């Protein structure tokens, strides 16, 4: 008889490259969530009338109800750093848009015709080395950012769920401060300036994440950081420059995190990242999210064959075409393909490639998880 696994045991068994009773399912993170509009449509389809709330402002993600997570057999639960009680967002609104300033000083704007906030004002876009030194950086030990998180994480652990959190990486947080154009130009023309900025952001992030991990590190099973380094066709910058400038700081961030928790380390990096997977493995990354299957050189069967002994894969259900434009039958075929490619021997956490967008039909969302629950059952040899 197949052992009955708790949600946490199921996730950890899979991420340890072993087969649990079924493929674990994820929904609800900042990269595997549902936009507010799509979530309201889903709840109407499910007959749930409870009012929805926003959990993440920039991507307009919904806070997921436990009723929905249980309905879909979701194995993960999330705990996130909170905004500082001292933070003043400096919100603005006019007839065309709304905007606010985040805790790092970047202004984000959402036109009324848009679904999202985008960064539009970058406080270090024209900065000198002296400006970086004198910038009003976020406070390390702001206890208001972790207030109540230990109790929440402990509650999810006691209920048997795998506890996840998500934080920012060094490179991506840095260019949010400078704008991507200044960052990419400076990587070539001002490498000392870039290194100074990256080192300062690394210092701040290590302090912030130490604060988080001192509170909930004992309860975390996976800590994911987002760090996009590719386009859909290939590297965003030269791999040589990535390895000189970004990879060493990512390694230092991972080492700092690992000193505070036994959680698995995951990276969220969209696009065509196959060129960097060996780099990821070499600096202690154990899980790759989101496995953007629509990007170049991201064939799931090949990735599993080449890296499946060293890297777990998380995501893979196409959000670019199949979920918004496909039929439920096409979604079913997509889920089965990713399970067939990535699940044998463990090492797969099933989820959409990225957040479920407003134009995804509710029936397609339901299909993902209903098929995942049934077809991902190792006990009926679906994954061999």
Check residue 166 and report its DSSP letter.
E
pLDDT in tens for each of the 384 residues of the chain?
A: 568 899 999 999 999 999 999 999 999 999 999 999 999 999 999 999 999 899 999 999 999 999 999 999 999 999 999 999 999 999 999 999 999 999 999 999 999 999 999 999 999 999 999 999 999 999 988 999 999 999 999 999 999 999 999 999 999 999 999 999 999 999 999 999 999 999 999 999 999 999 999 999 999 999 999 999 999 999 999 999 999 999 999 999 999 999 999 999 999 999 999 999 999 999 999 999 999 999 999 999 999 999 999 999 999 999 999 999 999 999 999 999 999 999 999 999 999 999 999 999 999 999 999 999 999 999 754 544
Euclidean distance between CA atoms 199 and 222, whole angstroms: 25
pLDDT score for 4: 87
* Burial label, 51 (beta-carbon count in 10 A; 0-12, 13-18, 19+): exposed
Residues 6+ apart with CB under 8 A from 10: 20, 21, 22, 24, 75, 162
Contact 20, 13 (CB under 8 A): yes
Check residue 285 and report its DSSP letter.
-
Phi and psi of 275, rounded to 5°?
Answer: -65, -20
Euclidean distance between CA atoms 54 and 83, whole angstroms: 14
Ranges of each domain in the chain: 7-82+143-380
Angle of CA points 291, 265, 118, to nearest 5°: 60
Euclidean distance between CA atoms 317 and 313, whole angstroms: 11
pLDDT score for 99: 98
pLDDT score for 141: 87
Residues 6+ apart with CB under 8 A from 114: none
pTM above 0.85, yes or no: yes
pLDDT score for 246: 97
Q: What are the tokens at 184?
A: 């990419």
Q: How far is CA 27 from CA 57, 227, 273, 325, in A?
A: 17, 20, 22, 20
Q: What are the tokens at 125?
A: 């876009």
Q: How far is CA 330 from CA 155, 324, 326, 337, in A?
A: 37, 11, 6, 10
Angle of CA points 342, 384, 277, to nearest 5°: 20
Check residue 378 and report its DSSP letter.
G
- Strand pairing report for 162-168 and 118-121: unpaired
7-82+143-380 CATH, one of 3.40.50.1370, 3.20.20.210, 3.20.20.30, 2.60.40.1180: 3.20.20.210
Contact 29, 224 (CB under 8 A): yes
* Burial label, 345 (beta-carbon count in 10 A; 0-12, 13-18, 19+): middle
Phi and psi of 29, rounded to 5°?
Answer: -80, 180
């Amino acid at each position: 008889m197949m052992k009955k696994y708790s949600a946490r045991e199921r996730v950890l068994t899979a991420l340890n490259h072993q087969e649990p009773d079924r493929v674990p399912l994820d929904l609800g993170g900042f990269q595997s969530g549902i936009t507010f509009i799509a979530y309201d449509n889903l709840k109407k389809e499910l007959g749930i009338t409870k009012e929805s709330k926003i959990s993440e402002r920039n991507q307009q993600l919904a806070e997921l109800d436990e009723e929905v997570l249980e309905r879909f057999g979701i194995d993960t639960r999330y705990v996130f750093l909170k905004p500082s009680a001292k933070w003043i967002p400096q919100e603005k609104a006019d007839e065309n848009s709304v905007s606010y300033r985040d805790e790092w000083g970047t202004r984000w704007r959402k036109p009324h015709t848009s679904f999202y906030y985008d960064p539009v004002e970058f406080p270090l876009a024209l900065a000198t080395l002296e400006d970086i030194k004198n910038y009003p950086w976020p406070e390390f030990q702001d206890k208001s950012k972790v207030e109540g998180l230990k109790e929440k994480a402990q509650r999810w652990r006691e209920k048997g769920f795998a506890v996840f959190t998500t934080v920012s990486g060094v490179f991506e947080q840095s260019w949010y401060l400078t704008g991507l154009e200044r960052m990419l130009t400076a990587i070539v023309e001002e490498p000392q300036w870039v290194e100074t900025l990256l080192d300062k952001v690394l210092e701040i992030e290590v302090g912030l994440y130490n604060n988080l991990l001192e509170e909930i590190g004992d309860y975390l099973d996976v800590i994911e950081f987002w760090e996009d380094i590719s386009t859909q066709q290939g590297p965003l910058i030269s791999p040589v420059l990535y390895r000189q400038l970004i990879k060493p700081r990512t390694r230092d961030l991972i080492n700092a995190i690992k000193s505070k928790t036994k959680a698995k380390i995951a990276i969220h990096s969209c696009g065509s990242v196959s060129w960097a997977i060996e780099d990821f493995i070499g600096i202690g990354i154990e899980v790759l999210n989101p496995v953007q299957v629509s990007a170049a050189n991201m064939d799931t069967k090949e990735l599993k064959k080449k890296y499946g002994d060293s890297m777990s894969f998380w995501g893979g259900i196409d959000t670019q075409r199949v979920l918004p434009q496909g039929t439920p039958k096409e979604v079913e075929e997509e889920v089965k393909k990713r399970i067939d490619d990535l699940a044998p021997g463990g090492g797969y956490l099933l989820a959409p490639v990225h957040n479920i967008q407003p134009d995804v039909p509710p029936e397609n969302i339901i299909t993902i998880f209903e098929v995942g629950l049934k077809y991902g059952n190792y006990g009926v040899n679906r994954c061999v």
